[in-house]
Amino acid sequence: MKFDITSTNPVVKAVLEGTAPRPAQVAASRGALPLPQADMLEILVNFYNADDPELKENAAASLQAQQTETLGDTLETETVAPAVLAYFVQRSDLPIKLHETILRNGRTPTSAIEAFAGQSTNGSLLEFISFNQQLLIQNPGIIDALISNPASTPEAERRASELKREFFEKERGAQQIANEMRARGNEAAAEFLEQAEFAGDLDASGMSIDDALFLAQHIEVPDRETDDSWLSLEYIEEIYEESQEQREAAIGKIIGEFQLESDDELPGERISMINRIMKMGVKDRVKLGMKGDREARNILIRDPNRLVSSAVVNNPRITEQEIEMIGDAIGE
């Protein structure tokens, strides 16, 4: 097996490359050679990762026997082998301070940090990683690992999500998603995203790329099938004059109506969809009402804004059964 040797010590090279006698290799695998700790650790980790059963077993025992009190000074140096840092970062039995030393060292392989960020159950260490903004920006895989790890603390997840939104999601804006939707043959979704008010500035609207994708998947009516001739000037104020308090009250009303209709607790997926839809302003909800699928219509018909509920009634895909249900919902 070919080793990636970092040390300039000729003994390390001879032992790892096999030019040293077998007894010397065995002695090294037991940590018995008089070498600086950084050099000895490089040998042990390389043997541990190799295929030689005897050397691997000896190295595993020798690494496990290392005193953590003496490791800190070695693991923070700029000459320690990256393989050594990658080995120790995955050791869950190390003290937190030692893990912080490894995670702080610029020689620690980012692939090892990403694996650690996705698997560690130590919330404080996950937060420690999330504070290294430069590391995360340069290695977005670590961001995804932090977000997907169930052990991430709210702070670690928040910081990772903010960086993802700021440095990566902005680049993949609503127009790019619209292009992707059109390429897949979903013209209606592409049109919706291109015309939506929130798409102009996702951050300002409070929407995320995930929100935009989710809503686009509930669009089924292309522009050519819609007819907005029913709109009149009397509705103009209702398009633009909606306060945050009114929107929050609308969310409560919609959720309340669904709960009254069912003895079971409202599914989290339904609540999530309601919240995503209600992040949009009235104008975008009108478009969704006219172009959305049955699930979207079932939510928006309950919108207290009469313009939105009227848009649902004018959706060309609405069925007679839905109209009957709508009549019951609005008390007709």
Q: Tell me: pLDDT of 78 over 80.
A: yes
- Residues whose CB falls within 8 Å of the CB of residue 1, separated by 6 or more in sequence, listed in order: 50, 51, 52
Burial 128-154 (b: 16+ CB within 10 A, else e): bbbebeebbeebeebbbbbbebeebbe
Angle at 326 between CA 323 and CA 329, to 5 degrees: 160
Is the model's pTM score more than 0.85?
no
Residue pair 297/322 in contact (Cβ under 8 Å)? The answer is: yes
- Could you tell me how many residues make up the chain? 332
Residue pair 272/211 in contact (Cβ under 8 Å)? The answer is: no
Per-residue confidence (pLDDT) for residue 332, from 0 to 100: 46
| Higher per-residue confidence, 1 vs 207 | 207
Q: Where are the domains of the chain?
A: 1-105, 109-169, 186-332
Per-residue confidence (pLDDT) for residue 236, from 0 to 100: 62
Q: Tell me: pLDDT of 324 over 70.
A: yes
Give, rounded to a whole angstrom, the gap between the first and last alpha carbons of the chain.
79
Least confident of 22-36, 105-119, 228-242: 228-242
Per-residue confidence (pLDDT) for residue 174, from 0 to 100: 79
Per-residue confidence (pLDDT) for residue 187, from 0 to 100: 94
- What is the mean predicted confidence (pLDDT) over 241-260? 88
pLDDT digits (tens, 9 = 90+) for 106-160: 999 999 999 999 999 999 999 999 999 989 988 999 999 999 999 999 999 999 9
Show the 3-state SS of the chain: CCCCCCCCCHHHHHHHHCCCCHHHHHHHHCCCCCCCHHHHHHHHHHHHHCCCHHHHHHHHHHHHCCCHHHHHHHHCCCCCCHHHHHHHHCCCCCCHHHHHHHHHCCCCCHHHHHHHHHHCCCHHHHHHHHCCHHHHHHCHHHHHHHHHCCCCCHHHHHHHHHHHHHHHHCCCCHHHHHHHHHHCCCHHHHHHHHHCCHHHCHHHHCCCHHHHHHHHCCECCCHHHCCCCCCCHHHHHHHHCCCHHHHHHHHHHHHHHHHHHCCCCCCHHHHHHHHHHCCCCHHHHHHHHHHECHHHHHHHCCCCCHHHHHHHHCCCCCCHHHHHHHHHHCCC
Q: Tell me: pLDDT of 31 over 60.
A: yes
- Bridge partners, residue 219, by sequence: 292
| Higher per-residue confidence, 165 vs 169 | 165
User: For the chain, what is the mean pLDDT?
Assistant: 90
- Residues whose CB falls within 8 Å of the CB of residue 189, separated by 6 or more in sequence, listed in order: 178, 181, 216, 217, 219
Q: How far apart are CA 225 and CA 221, in angstroms?
A: 6
Nearest residue to 278 (alpha-carbon basis) of 251, 305, 297 = 251
Please give the structure tokens belonging to residue 162: 């903010």
- Bridge partners, residue 308, by sequence: none
Least confident of 97-101, 123-127, 229-233: 229-233
| Cβ atoms within 10 Å of 250's Cβ, excluding its own | 21
Query: Considering the chain, what percentage of its residues have pLDDT values greater than 90?
Result: 67
